[in-house]
Structure formats: C-alpha cells, structure tokens
A = this chain, B = another copy of it.
Amino acid sequence: MRDTIPADPDHFEVNEINRVRRVHDRGRYDKATIHAFLDAAVACHIAYTIDGRPYCTPTAFWREGDHLYWHGSSASRAIRNQNKGLPVCLTVTHVDALVMARSGFHHSINYRCVMAFGTAHAITDRAEKLRLLDNFVDRIYPGRSKLIRHPNEQEFKATTLMGMEMETVSGKIRDKHVADEEEDYEAVPAWSALYPITQVIGEPSDCARQLPGLTRPDEMADFVPGTRLDELMTKTYRKTFGE
C-alpha cells in the first residue's frame, strides 16, 4: 500500500485510501493528533470482509508505536478470519457534542475519529504475546498485570492476540459551534445551541467477594468518579507507556 518511505516521519502519508474528501479541512494526518485520538479510547470498531460480506465488530484495542492490537477468542469467526492476514479498517470515534442549527442541513455532531487501515495478523511468538497481554491490562489499569494471576495454558491458547501496522491512517475532527448560512441567523427564529457530550466513569462497585482489606491501588489514583473516560484513558496510557 505504501510505495515510498514517507517524507515526514511525524505525518502519515496521504493517499487515495485515507484522503479526507468531504469537508477536507477536518482531515488530520499528523501522528501527534492521531495518537491522541487513539490513546484516549478503550474501544474501537473493526471492519473486515468474509465471503464478500462486510462485518463491523466492536472490541477493545490499544496502540504501541505504529501498531494497533486487539484480541478475541481463538475460536471466533472474526478472529479466525483476521488471523489469516485480512485487510481491516479499525475506527475509533469520540462523540463530543450535538450541534443544533437553523437548517436541517447544518445540524451536526462534533467528533474526533481515526480510521486506520492495515492487515491483521496473529501474534504467535509466546514471549511477545505474553508481554502484549500484560500491556493490554496495564494500558487501562496501570500496574495491574503485576497484581493478577497470569494466563494459564488453556487461557493462553483460547486467546488470539491480533495486531496490525497502521499502513494508512486518517483522523477527522469537527470541533465547531453552530455554523449556519448567513441569512438564516436572522431569518429563522429557532433556538440553536450545542450540547456537549462526555463519557464518564461512575463510582466503582466492589466485587461482592472482595478479600478484606483491599482498596484501590495507588497506581489507579486517576480513577476518580466523574472523570471523563477519554481523559482517564489518556492518563493511564501515558502512565504505562510514557509520553
């Protein structure tokens, strides 16, 4: 897919696959922005094709460098097919606001999203897979892999860890307020506003079989009820992988 080494290591190359065509000023190709959108998320949607039919599956994922990782049951249809080396599109979306306008045409949603194209493959090296499975837990809950029981042989085999290099990527963002046709501001007496939307974590609910004396580990100090999930996931990501 990539014929040449990109001239700028801080940007993804723009090509016919990833070029943002509609409202192209919303397009983003710089790695700093794309990494920020990805690392603020815990879940994505992955598109893949089996027997000519497209599927769109939600799953948890994370990024390391220019690679994205996710996992699944070794027996699942999706994973068995991706395992063969399947082209996929992994998309991450943050919904940031509902935007009401004075015409239907200008109603909108503020969002940040990334579409990453690559070829999925299974991670088969044992040590690498174990290391990545630990990172998968720590990326959400810093330091947690050291506290929990490690995978037994059955669990290890039952889990397929998938990865892909981000071969072609685009980010897209709308972060504007109401934007109407000039004549509509005066002519249309409709109350128009923007409602921010955030995803937040609530109060933790302890496992009913918690051993006595256990409390939230210090490394999870950022898990404060009411915290935005995107901001929390950015913090936990950096705690685990650095800036």
Contact = CB atoms under 8 A, between A and B. Distances in A.
Interface of A: 17, 21-22, 42-43, 45-49, 52-58, 60, 72-73, 75-77, 87-91, 93, 95, 98, 100-105, 107, 109, 111, 113, 115, 117, 133-134, 136-137, 140-141, 144-145, 147-151, 155, 158-159, 177-178, 180-181, 184-211, 214-217, 223, 229
Given A60-B109, A91-B45, A208-B177, A190 B53 contact: no
A117 to B, nearest CB: 7
Q: Report whether over half of chain A's contact residues are helix, strand or loop; otherwise say mixed.
A: mixed
A87 B214 contact: no
Contact of A193 (B21, B140, B205): B205
Interface centre among A56, A57, A88 (most CB of B within 10 A): A56
Contacts of A111: 43, 58
Contacts of A186: 211
A74 to B, nearest CB: 10
Give how many copies assemble into the complex. Answer: 2
A133 B214 CA distance: 54
Contacts of A189: 147, 211, 214
Contact of A45 (B93, B109, B217): B93
Contacts of A206: 191-193
A209 B191 CA distance: 10
A43 B103 contact: no
17 contacts: A21-B77, A22-B72, A45-B45, A45-B47, A45-B93, A53-B89, A55-B115, A56-B56, A58-B111, A104-B137, A105-B151, A178-B207, A192-B214, A193-B204, A193-B210, A198-B199, A199-B200
